[in-house]
Amino acid sequence: MKNLNKLYEQKAKEIAEAIQASEILEQFLEEEDDDLYKALIEEFEPQIESLYEVVALEEPLQLIPLEDILMGDEFEGLFIPKLMGFNILRSEYDNNYKYVHSNERFGTLLSLVCNSANFEFIKNRIGQSIQIGFAMSSDIWITGFLNSIENQKIKQYLKSQKLIKYLNREERSKGYKLYRLQFSSYNFFTTDFPTDLVTQRLNFHSLCKFLKKRAVVNENNSAFIPEYINYLKNDIFIGTDEHIVVFGLLINYFDLKKTDQTKASEILAKIRDLDRFNEVYFNFILERFRSNLRLTGDCDKRVAQLIDFKKTDDDLARYYEMALTMANEGYAHDNTIEKVKNVYNMYEGMSLFNECVRELVLGNFIRLVDNLDPEDYTEYFELDKYWRIYIDIFNNQEFNQQLRDHSVKYVKRCIKRFTDKRSRDYQDIKKFIKQQYTDLQFLKEKEIVELFKTKRKPRKPKAQ
């Protein structure tokens, strides 16, 4: 973790001094009134939040040192509720919605609140955080934490936040997802780049989560690229699956300067011939295609910049030569179709390589169909001839099914938009779908009839 920039440290100090010098705080300390604490929140939390947002965007590796400062007594616990939420959402959990590792920082924040002179005022803002934090923690950890609290009144309050409903996995999942929504607009992810194999294994999840979030932000990432590349250049990590995945995130999602591209090319040259590289990397590609952070033509162009296609002829080069053609010329171009067909026929139909090729083509179709307005249905009609070409190349049922599912969703949107069954729009769509879906075996005739069937509203019972 990087040390906090002196400029940010000074700004935090100025906010703390302003809080301590404020008349609102002086009055609050005299009267201990809830409205006065709320006034403190309204006056100073926006300033703290503004500083936090700047650091999160420009120097994300400095967030923990900033948070450590904000946890000081001079801030009167004002930003603690958000810090607690950020920490709860950063921490790694398993499929059972339980923390993989004990969340000690959550315990540190909660201890700080319990020992604060402003406990009664802060607790009104952190009830849900405690509930979710406890729900995802082990009983052993919770018991240990409660035993560390000497104040019986506070201990009883904490016990009341351990909700019975969260013993159920589905309730924990639902509670966590609802809680997460409150923080969806905040940028709070940070990381430490590994220094040895143990920290790489332990921090792999949080590292990937941070990098995926930064890929979405796609701004000010140059601040941590040097640390990122230094980690990837370290020979002790070369050959590990984690290293290949984190390297995959770098070359697909981050814009690199020329010097950094050169370093990335050197790393790629070291790892592409490793026994595990193809399996791990192409599985990484497959996972990205099926995730919220999908691969795009821009990703393919970034990777292609690192490959000398004249000097290399391996799986990676073949895949990206084909992907680059698609990114530059589009899925409908004859050159693209020919390259896809040629490279696809070099591998077994169910191979990992070909699965990635199908997902690449499928991603182009899905993005188009999912973003097409009902009024543009003639563009949808144009897709038909290209679907048929790729269906014939791949001869893969899963590919066909994905096309069908997204196609049906689009047609339903059209039917919802064009409600007049006598209109030309409605009739054109119905005629085309009946022909297309029958030929492509997307739906049976009975299912097509059902698709266009008007759903009658149930009759209201007659008044007696």
The Cα 305–Cα 253 span in angstroms is: 13
- pLDDT tens-digit map of 180-206: 999 999 999 999 999 999 999 999 999
Q: Which residue has the tokens 């033509």?
A: 297
Cβ–Cβ < 8 Å for 219, 253: no
Q: Which residue has the tokens 């849900």?
A: 128
Task: Round the average pLDDT of the chain to a whole number and report it.
Answer: 93
The Cα 222–Cα 347 span in angstroms is: 39
- pLDDT tens-digit map of 55-93: 999 999 999 999 999 999 999 999 999 999 999 999 999
Largest CA distance in the chain: 86
Q: Where are the domains of the chain?
A: 6-181, 372-464
The phi and psi torsions of 99 (rounded to 5 degrees) equal: -65, 135
Indicate whether 42 pLDDT > 60.
yes
pLDDT of residue 463: 54
The Cα 305–Cα 14 span in angstroms is: 46
The Cα 236–Cα 230 span in angstroms is: 12
Mean per-residue pLDDT, 268-296: 94
What global pTM score does this model have? 0.90
What's the 3-state SS for the chain? Answer: CCCCCHHHHHHHHHHHHHHHHCHHHHHHHHHCCHHHHHHHHHHHHHHHHHHHHHHHHHCHHHHHHHHHHHCCHHHCCCCHHHHHHHHHHHCCECCCCCECCCCHHHHHHHHHHHCCCCHHHHHHHCHHHHHHHHHHCCHHHHHHHHHCCCCHHHHHHHHHCCCHHHHCHHHHHHHHHHHHHCCCCCCCCCCCCCCCHHHHHHHHHHHHHHHHHHHHHCCCHHHCHHHHHHHHHCCCCCCCHHHHHHHHHHHHHCCCCHHHHHHHHHHHHHHCCCCCHHHHHHHHHHHHHCCCCCCCHHHHHHHHCCCCCCCCCCHHHHHHHHHHHHHHHCCCCHHHHHHHHHHHCCCCCCCHHHHHHHHHHHHHHHHHHHCCCHHHHHHHHHHHHHHHHHHHHHCCHHHHHHHHHHHHHHHHHHHHHCCCCCCHHHHHHHHHHHHHHHHCCCCCHHHHHHHCCCCCCCCCCCCC
Mean per-residue pLDDT, 267-285: 95
- pLDDT tens-digit map of 401-437: 999 999 999 999 999 999 888 899 989 999 998 888 8
pLDDT of residue 393: 96
pLDDT of residue 444: 86
Indicate whether 464 pLDDT > 60.
no
Cβ–Cβ < 8 Å for 315, 277: no
Cβ–Cβ < 8 Å for 193, 207: yes
The Cα 192–Cα 203 span in angstroms is: 8
pLDDT of residue 457: 57
The identity of residue 434, as a single letter, is K
Cβ–Cβ < 8 Å for 16, 78: no
The Cα 311–Cα 322 span in angstroms is: 16
pLDDT of residue 365: 92
